[in-house]
Structure 1
Amino acid sequence: MLAIARVLCALAAALVMAGGATANAETVLRVALHSDLKIIDPVWTTALISTHHGHMIYDTLFAVDEKLAVKPQMVDKWETSADQLTWTFTLRDGLEWSDGTPVTAEDCVASIKRWGAKDGMGQKLMSVTAELGALDAKTIRMALKRPYGLVLETLGKSSSNVPFMMPKRVAETDPNQQITDTTGSGPFIYKKDESRPGEKTVYVKNPRYKPRNEPASGLAGGKVAKVDRVEWISIPDPQTQVNALLSGEIDLIEIVPPDLLPLLAKEKDIRIFVTNTAGRQYAMRFNVLHKPFDNPKIRQAVLYALDEKEFLDANVGNPAYYKVCKSLFPCGSPLESTKGWEDKLSGNTAKARQILQEAGYDGTPIVLLHQTDLPNHSNLATVAKPQLERAGFKVDLQAMDWQTLVTRRAKKEPLDQGGWSAYFTSWGATDVLNPVSTAFLSGACDKATFGWSCDPELEKLRDAYAFETDPAKQKAIAEQVQLRVIDYPTHVPLGQFTTPTAIRSNIVGLLHTPALALWNIEKK
């Protein structure tokens, strides 16, 4: 009997230990995202995957909530002088970097300046800023040359490029060079030593992060990390992603192609969730530095040659998830307008040929960069090629993965030395709501984003929009921008779409956000 009692006691002790181990087990969230992470600097690049990375490890002064209203984030309070020229921001108490040092106003000033040298909205804000400095360890002072109506909207920008706050030593890196130090003050810490390109990217909960007291809403509120560890698992093939989700190997797929949705819809353990209800806008971006697209008239021919609906059918497929929209600014937004674009984007080959002939197109091939690995994007260039060829263009289609394209598009070299003519991407609708926020509308030449559009008239119109406070007058200016882009095309908008996310039913707390947020998520 004594021996049996000893065995029972040993079993009980083992069960207690096992229960304790279970109670203290690390909670790991495994997700498959739209791309592998290779560039860790979300200011140097506009790539969405790098922005997702930024939201994991950095925080921002302001952020947008679920209704896209700008709310304070790292900022506790702010004041504006009576003449609207001086803005003072006070940081919250207790903010720390992941290395244990306090967040200071000097860190934030350096971060704003570096971001402001790269981002279109940031450049506009910096152009009207007379002075930006730290009054003390917690207070930032911004003195403007003239009142500017988009200060908070700019500092609360939600997607590429986001004004993420970094330590001063990191933020003093040349904005045209990539950072290597990933010290942040966000809800997670990037584990470079455990991450492997093409395999996985690893983050752990930041024990020093101090969330706001409010509930999470959009990208604002309390960013509470409710799992211990997040792993971005690299699975390029969508079908393989779905199989991994069904088997429980991963917990979330960021973007599910519509043709695979029926397979998931019948599974009781899977839920479909659209995080970004505002959606995204496809765009073809021109490089204006080299022939043939150094000629605005030749770029104009593209506006007639392309058929927007063919892009949406080939890359989204299900009309429930896309919208044909002949507006430079998102349909459903305050600045929606088809003015000047009614006869564009419908595949008018005859008109495109006529314009090409008038422009003196000499047959220089278009080097068209074709990303092959992004769901909802992999058929953009392949749809464009025959449309452009029917109009009379010669097209050199060059296939590559998205991260290679992201690196390639930064090259200004001629076409025969690794340069490019055009590439396709998409922007969150919240990124292209107005002439100032839309990065591709910058006409700032070398300061403009990849493609380097250079047009003083566009810059004058963007300035006029930024300083106007009357919504009716703002809309009139936006329509002038829309008409100007016909004469000086910077890019081609190619319709709107939403991207369904699939999650296992034991995952709760996923937020409605313009960029993926992995805080507030619990794994039951």
Structure 2
Amino acid sequence: MNIRVGRFGGIFAAGAIAALVLTGCASGTAASSSDDAKPRSGGSITIARLGAEVTSLDPVPDTLTSNNAYTLDKVFDTLVVQNGKGEIEPRLASAYTTSADGLTWTFTLRKDLTFSDGSALTSADVAYSIQRHLDKGGALPLSAPITAVTATDPQTVTITLSQPYSPLLAELSTFSSGIVPKDLKGESEAAFFAAPVASGPFTVGNWDKAGGKITLKKNADYWQHGKPYVDSVTYIVAGDDNQLAQLVKSGQAQIAEGIAPASVSDLQSAQNVHLLSTPSWNQDEIFFNTTTGPFADRSARRAVAQAIDRAALAKNTTFGTATAGTTYIPSTVQYSDQKATVLGYSIDDAKKDLAAATSDTGKVTLLVESGSQSRDQQAQVIQSQLGKIGITVDIKSVDNATFWTEFPAGNYQFALTTVIADTSDPDNVTTWQVDGAGPSKAFHTGYNNPQVNELAAQGRITPNGDARQKIYAQLQEIVAQDVPNLSLDYTAQSTATSTAVHGLTVVPNGTSLLDGVWLSK
């Protein structure tokens, strides 16, 4: 997870979100009556989205926005990739194996791989890219305990670990593990990433850093011969939810990503618009500052959790596109325990916990990331419901840039935002949200429970199976009682497209695979 929407492979827990598919198919691939037709090459598409403009095309930046991340994976391919179901599939690697002790991973590259300038892409480039990721860390570090990355021969890469690490493939599937040329072709980072040589389906065309518009062009040397089908993709930034929906309705954009719940009904009935709603790893969530202020007191956090009717909140603020949240691991992520004992809605119990709190909770401030109609409504509902137990809530609504300055700095009491996991491996959301020894210090809450930290570490080295599942079940039970965060709802991912768009795959982490997209006449 990481700062995108705020973000933090693939077996899924059974989750109710899967029933929320409104149109299209649950796998995340756009469907229409003519999808059986043969794909045709040519044409250009415009994709509208919210958020900040693209500021960097370095896969390993110090800071990150959602639009940076969702552009990077079009320019740089990875060894493996997550498909529309969140499952791991080979990408630049044609195959991979692991030793019996789990310490050695061997990746075989596809034959005749090239970069967008026609130069060969070999194991030396892969080894360099992974080592660069390890050395720089960046906003989404490669946390695997890698001791060596070796270009064994031109088509083979060997990764050696100090201990088994279950999330390795998941980490190698993210945009931050994109493959770049060795030594960046001898250029400085600034020069190379201003006009990068690509390993993915697209290269960079025009890039207006001030206006937020970037055009990607077809990579004629892409390893999937014949793909991508479209000649170019232009990304534009919408000012708000309403403008985002209007751009696709008017035909100014052929794809609109991140459609707000309030826009779903309107777009379902719009002519020449196809609405794809799929399971995601999204959740709307409250985060508590556990180090200082009123919510450093565990009883105060528990009082808030029990005063909020999450089922009613999800129903009334997401227009039927979400289910009530329970644990910090979304229902669509591996080993989510939807039977975990969580603090349910009870005004009486909330008042008891509030009475046990020693901190001053008379008046508190809720920091809210603005720009979302449903999130604004959620803040108002929270304000109203906490008022019933005697807590006065002052809503401090700030723009994206301010929120992601104040929140990571700990300048808040409790905060409301939308977060999304990068992978379906539970370590991703666990490391970012609840591990006090993790890179974000439990996602800027300061929560630091030694038992949780130890279980998180065990979860990383335990092979998939019953033992690993029990670890994450225990984690969810502990966190649900400590309440460093509070999942309000698990939201579906809604994407609107022109009915002329085919072959779009939406991954549960919010990105889209565009190499298979084509336009009908």
- Cross-structure match for 2:26: none
In the alignment, does 2:84 pair up with 1:66?
yes
- Cross-structure match for 2:310: 308
Task: Name the aligned partner's letter for residue 37 of structure 1.
Answer: E
- Cross-structure match for 1:19: none
Task: Name the aligned partner's letter for residue 186 of structure 1.
Answer: G
* Unmatched segments (≥5 aa) in structure 1: 1-24, 214-221
C-alpha distance 499-156 of structure 1, shift in aligned 2 (>3 A): closer
Paired residue for 1:76, among 91, 94, 106? 94
- Cross-structure match for 2:279: 277
3-state secondary structure, aligned to 1:56? helix
Task: Name the aligned partner's letter for residue 466 of structure 2.
Answer: A
**Which residues of 2 match residues 261-410 of structure 1 at below 5 A?**
261-274=264-277, 276-278=278-280, 280-318=282-320, 321-331=321-331, 335-344=335-344, 346=345, 348-363=346-361, 366-374=364-372, 376-410=374-408
CA distance in structure 2 between the aligned counterparts of 1:409 and 1:376, rounded to whole angstroms: 20
Superposed displacement of residue 446, structure 1: 5.3
- Cross-structure match for 1:508: 502
CA distance in structure 1 between the aligned counterparts of 2:455 and 2:234, rounded to whole angstroms: 44
- Cross-structure match for 1:29: 45
C-alpha distance 256-106 of structure 1, shift in aligned 2 (>3 A): closer
Paired residue for 2:433, among 440, 448, 453? 440
CA distance in structure 1 between the aligned counterparts of 2:354 and 2:160, rounded to whole angstroms: 48
3-state secondary structure, aligned to 2:51? coil
C-alpha distance 116-136 of structure 1, shift in aligned 2 (>3 A): farther
Deviation readout 1:116-174 (Å, 9 max, x if unpaired): 66547x42x22xx33344445554332222333333233235xxx753334565799xx
Contact 1:29 1:251 in 2 (8 A): yes
Contact 1:365 1:394 in 2 (8 A): yes
Deviation readout 1:316-362 (Å, 9 max, x if unpaired): 112xx222243443336663434553443x2x344334323323112
- Cross-structure match for 2:17: none
C-alpha distance 342-449 of structure 1, shift in aligned 2 (>3 A): closer
Task: Name the aligned partner's letter for residue 324 of structure 2.
Answer: V
- Cross-structure match for 1:519: 515
- Cross-structure match for 2:106: 88
Task: Name the aligned partner's letter for residue 426 of structure 2.
Answer: N
In the alignment, does 2:162 pair up with 1:145?
yes
CA distance in structure 2 between the aligned counterparts of 1:423 and 1:444, rounded to whole angstroms: 23
Deviation readout 1:492-515 (Å, 9 max, x if unpaired): 112222133221111122124222
* Unmatched segments (≥5 aa) in structure 2: 1-40
C-alpha distance 182-485 of structure 1, shift in aligned 2 (>3 A): farther
3-state secondary structure, aligned to 1:499? strand
Residues 100-109 or 456-465, more deviating: 100-109
- Cross-structure match for 2:487: 493
Task: Name the aligned partner's letter for residue 514 of structure 2.
Answer: L
C-alpha distance 130-241 of structure 1, shift in aligned 2 (>3 A): closer
3-state secondary structure, aligned to 2:295? coil
- Cross-structure match for 2:250: 247
Task: Name the aligned partner's letter for residue 457 of structure 1.
Answer: Q
In the alignment, does 2:238 pair up with 1:235?
yes
- Cross-structure match for 1:189: 203
3-state secondary structure, aligned to 1:141? strand
Q: Normalising by structure 2, report the TM-score.
A: 0.77
CA distance in structure 1 between the aligned counterparts of 2:394 and 2:514, rounded to whole angstroms: 39
**Which residues of 2 match residues 413-492 of structure 1 at below 5 A?**
415=411, 421-428=414-421, 431=423, 434-438=426-430, 439-444=432-437, 448=441, 450-451=443-444, 452-469=446-463, 471-492=465-486
**Which residues of 2 match residues 76-155 of structure 1 at below 5 A?**
76-98=94-116, 102-103=120-121, 104-114=125-135, 118-119=139-140, 122-123=142-143, 125-126=144-145, 129-135=146-152, 138-155=155-172
CA distance in structure 1 between the aligned counterparts of 2:66 and 2:185, rounded to whole angstroms: 20
Superposed displacement of residue 285, structure 1: 2.5
Task: Name the aligned partner's letter for residue 60 of structure 1.
Answer: T
Task: Name the aligned partner's letter for residue 341 of structure 1.
Answer: T
3-state secondary structure, aligned to 1:76? strand
How many residues get paired? Answer: 468
Contact 1:370 1:382 in 2 (8 A): no
Contact 1:282 1:496 in 2 (8 A): yes
CA distance in structure 2 between the aligned counterparts of 1:151 and 1:256, rounded to whole angstroms: 31
Contact 2:127 2:149 in 1 (8 A): no
Contact 1:105 1:138 in 2 (8 A): no
CA distance in structure 2 between the aligned counterparts of 1:435 and 1:487, rounded to whole angstroms: 20
3-state secondary structure, aligned to 2:294? coil
Contact 1:409 1:420 in 2 (8 A): no
Higher relative contact order (CA 8 A, sep 6+): 2
CA distance in structure 1 between the aligned counterparts of 2:448 and 2:182, rounded to whole angstroms: 32
CA distance in structure 2 between the aligned counterparts of 1:298 and 1:304, rounded to whole angstroms: 10
Contact 1:111 1:168 in 2 (8 A): no
- Cross-structure match for 1:52: 70
- Cross-structure match for 1:203: 216
C-alpha distance 312-30 of structure 1, shift in aligned 2 (>3 A): same
Task: Name the aligned partner's letter for residue 415 of structure 2.
Answer: A
- Over the aligned positions, Cα root-mean-square deviation in angstroms equals 3.7
3-state secondary structure, aligned to 2:473? helix
**Which residues of 2 match residues 217-228 of structure 1 at below 5 A?**
224-228=227-231
Question: Which has the greater radius of gyration?
Answer: 1
Task: Name the aligned partner's letter for residue 367 of structure 2.
Answer: L
C-alpha distance 82-379 of structure 1, shift in aligned 2 (>3 A): same
3-state secondary structure, aligned to 2:258? coil
Contact 1:435 1:481 in 2 (8 A): no
C-alpha distance 94-285 of structure 1, shift in aligned 2 (>3 A): farther
Superposed displacement of residue 376, structure 1: 4.6
Q: Percent identity?
A: 22
User: More strand by proportion, 1 or 2?
Assistant: 2
